């Protein structure tokens, strides 16, 4: 794959740049309760040298009842200063699943106007499988100011998504598993209706990944989107369960050169609990 410090970099690229003074590495692992994994404990036990732990649930909007919604600008800036991540840094973010929650942090940095961030292709599993260096030492942190320029066009709320669903002017693409999209599989969170946003298309995020959790080529991902009935000449809103794996779709779109995308931050955990918005079942 072609390394791109603004979207996706290989383990080889990271190994070559590991000692760069302005490189900052983030472990953004996040797991669903049924995975029975403790992301912070795993980070403390082993991580890529110099990595800081990025707690997605902490760096979020604590005023919202929805999980890990995008935080206010001030909170994001404060948390990044405390982590020693700021202007002039090249950031590489990874997770313990391969490509899963790391894409969420890539999107969050983009939302805050930070472009120099890439997801590590294949994440920690690929890094370890190649026998590369890991450590359990906490990094040395030095404060660094970050300038934030909030990018409103990269996030959508339930009202905007509802309008897009009704008018069909913007496509909605769902990253959840096909069974959840069709309404055949139960939602992992209680109290949510089953199905999908009317008019949306199904592109499970796992279909964009290889068996080693690296991302397929832009040509391959383009074929997958088109096979799902997605018109890549039109704007796209990505959605999922709680705004995490939808970011994998956004990352794939960005790599393909499709820059007219945005994220439905509330995703199904919001839409599925609203009794006033319609739900469709079956295939798209």
- Residue with the two structure tokens 């599993």: 125
Question: What is residue 261's DSSP assignment?
Answer: E
Residue of 146, 172, 240, 253 marked active site: 240
Instruction: Name 116's Cβ contacts closer than 8 Å, sequence gap at least 6.
Output: 5, 6, 89, 90, 91
Tell me, yes or no, if 240 is annotated catalytic. yes
Greatest alpha-carbon span in the chain: 53
| Structure token pair of residue 103 | 């894409």
DSSP 52-119: EE--TTTSS-TT-SSTTPPPPHHHHHHHHHHHT--TT-EEEEE-TTSSSTHHHHHHHHHHTT---EEE
Question: What is residue 141's DSSP assignment?
Answer: -
| Structure token pair of residue 5 | 């410090």
Strand order across the 117-120 sheet: 8-9, 117-120, 90-94, 23-27, 52-53
Residue 4 three-state SS: strand
Q: How buried is 226 (Cβ within 10 angstroms: 0-12 exposed, 13-18 middle, 19+ buried)? A: exposed
Residue 163 three-state SS: helix
Give the chain's length: 284
Q: In angstroms, rounded to a whole number, what is the distance separating the alpha carbons of residues 182 and 223?
A: 21
Active-site residue set: 240
């Amino acid at each position: 794959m072609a390394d791109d410090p603004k979207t996706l970099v290989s383990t080889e690229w990271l190994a070559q740049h590991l000692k760069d003074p302005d490189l900052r590495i983030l472990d953004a692992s996040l797991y669903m309760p049924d995975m029975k994994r403790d992301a912070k404990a795993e980070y403390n036990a082993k991580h890529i040298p110099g990595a800081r732990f990025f707690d997605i649930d902490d760096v979020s909007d604590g005023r919202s009842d929805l999980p890990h919604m995008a935080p206010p600008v001030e909170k994001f800036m404060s948390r990044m200063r405390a982590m020693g991540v700021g202007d002039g840094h090249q950031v590489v973010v990874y997770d313990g699943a391969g490509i899963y929650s790391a894409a969420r942090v890539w999107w969050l940095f983009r939302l805050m106007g930070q472009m120099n961030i890439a997801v590590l292709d294949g994440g920690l599993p690929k890094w370890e499988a190649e026998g590369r260096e890991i450590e359990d030492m906490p990094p040395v942190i030095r404060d660094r100011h970050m300038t934030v320029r909030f990018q409103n066009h990269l996030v959508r709320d339930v009202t905007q998504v509802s309008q897009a669903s009704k008018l069909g002017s913007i496509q909605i693409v769902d990253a959840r598993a096909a069974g959840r999209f069709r309404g055949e599989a139960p939602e992992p969170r209680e109290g949510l209706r089953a199905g999908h946003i009317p008019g949306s298309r199904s592109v499970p995020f796992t279909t964009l990944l290889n068996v080693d959790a690296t991302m397929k080529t832009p040509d391959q991902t383009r074929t997958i989107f088109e096979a799902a009935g997605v018109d890549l000449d039109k704007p796209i809103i990505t959605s999922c369960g709680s705004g995490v794996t939808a970011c994998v779709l956004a990352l794939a779109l960005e790599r393909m050169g499709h820059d007219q995308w945005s994220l439905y931050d509330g995703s199904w955990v919001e839409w599925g609990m609203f009794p006033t918005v319609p739900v469709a079942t079956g295939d798209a």
